[in-house]
Amino acid sequence: MSTNLRKSLIAGAVACAVVPAALVVGGSSATAAQPKYQPEMVSVLAQTLGVDEKAAVARLDRESDQQQKLTELTRAGLRTDGSFVDASGTLTVNTTDAGSAAKARSAGLAVRTPARGEAALNRVQAELDQAATRQVPAGIAAWSVDVAADVVKVEVADESRPQAKAFLADAARYGSAVQVVRTGQRLQAQATVYPGSKMTINGGSGYCSVGFGARNSSGAQYLVSAGHCIAGLPTLYYNNSPFAKGTSTRYKLGTQSVDMGVAQVTSGNSIAGQVGTWGAQGNIAVRGGTRAAVGSSICKSGATTGWTCGTIKAYNVTVTYVDRNGGPDTVVRGLGSSTVCTMGGDSGGAYISGNQAQGMTSGGPTNQQCTFNGGNQSGKSSYFQPLSDALSYYGLTLITG
């Protein structure tokens, strides 16, 4: 089946299927005893501390018990000036008078009298915050109160910048109350990006929609998208910050193509295992990627048209896309077709049927108009790249939620 269409760069689209208003689940009403702590957390803590899981649980119990004692003492009028847990797991309290120190010790807490204390350090940080308001301290990564070290810690990425020098000059006025740490590390916003969110191409005005997250055999995370969104292997931005870099695409303007591509997600960012719905309903958890049959209900969420729904019409569809910028036509094969309404900017976004991920928006009819968050809209159509084919081709495993 070949159809003459416009190529639809569809931003931020997230596909999501029709979800029943209620689900009835059978089974016993008895519930198994829940563990006190999440097993995953205990395992990671044990590895971090270099102890067995029994010792890790004991550490968590001790910290919880000490915090409860401190809470009770504070409610009873104990005067403190900050507290922290040291490397051994002991809760240490800054006290300002002998009576408070005695009460804390009697409850089994460690006590110290700091040179400065949390309240004084908070005032230093507030004044540094004001300095940053007057001039953004480019080259300074972060600053915060370190109660255990009894200082305000300033982390420097590039002290050669004039703004950084000015900020450090302000900080120097506080003497030993400020500790400068030269890390050389710049910071950027990190985010969990929901399928269907808007992503810009190379940070510019062009945009597509976020598809699904997946991992390779080594655990590296990738965004699975429409191939034309990854053409040129761009850097992809979410909320003005880069979160992924294109690594592979099977789409090339003017040649026989498959509209699938992937981008590696940069360190600190992640793709959620839930599809956003642009406020039409709550996020939809992705439980798997089983391909739905023709005729099944399916929805997509995209930056341009939000949450729109319909049914699957066919698979293995071949289309001819017209380039609206005057470029050559492109034949694309292996698509799914649907009655879901999409527009430019929805491309790459997620389609979902129930809780099963289906694919990423590829294209639709030229000049088609959709109602934002319009659900099912009569007489509309669109094409999507099946997710299962992309995962198989790139050897990836879908991230679920």
Catalytic residue among 170, 259, 346, 389: 259
Catalytic residue among 228, 297, 346, 389: 228
Let me know if 171 is exposed, middle or buried by CB neighbors in 10 A (0-12, 13-18, 19+): buried
Which residue's entry shows tokens 């294109």?
Answer: 246
What does residue 133 show for φ and ψ, rounded to 5 degrees?
-70, -40
Annotated catalytic residue 81: no
- What the block records as the tokens of 138 is 């480019």
**pLDDT value, residue 2:** 37
Annotated catalytic residue 97: no
Q: pLDDT tens-digit profile of 359-393? A: 999 999 988 999 999 999 999 999 999 999 999 99
Q: How far apart, in whole angstroms, are the C-alpha atoms of residue 61 and residue 69?
A: 12
Domains of the chain, CATH where assigned: 4-20+192-398 (2.40.10.10), 39-69+89-112 (no CATH), 118-182 (3.30.300.50)
Mean pLDDT by 10 residues, the chain (401 residues): 41 27 29 62 75 88 88 90 86 90 91 93 92 83 89 89 91 95 69 92 90 95 97 94 96 93 94 94 91 91 94 89 86 92 96 95 92 92 96 97 87
Annotated catalytic residue 259: yes
Catalytic residue among 257, 347, 381, 382: 347
pTM surpassing 0.85? Answer: no
**pLDDT value, residue 20:** 21
**pLDDT value, residue 235:** 96
Strands 241-249 and 235-238, bridge-based pairing: antiparallel
**pLDDT value, residue 64:** 85
**pLDDT value, residue 31:** 40
**pLDDT value, residue 189:** 52
Q: How far apart, in whole angstroms, are the C-alpha atoms of residue 374 and residue 320?
A: 27
Cα angle 21, 25, 30 (rounded to 5 degrees) comes to 135
Render 271-329 in DSSP notation, one character per residue.
E-SEE--TTSSS-EE--B-PPPPTT-EEEEEEETTEEEEEEEEEEEEEEEEEPTTS---
Nearest to 390 by CA among 214, 133, 180: 214
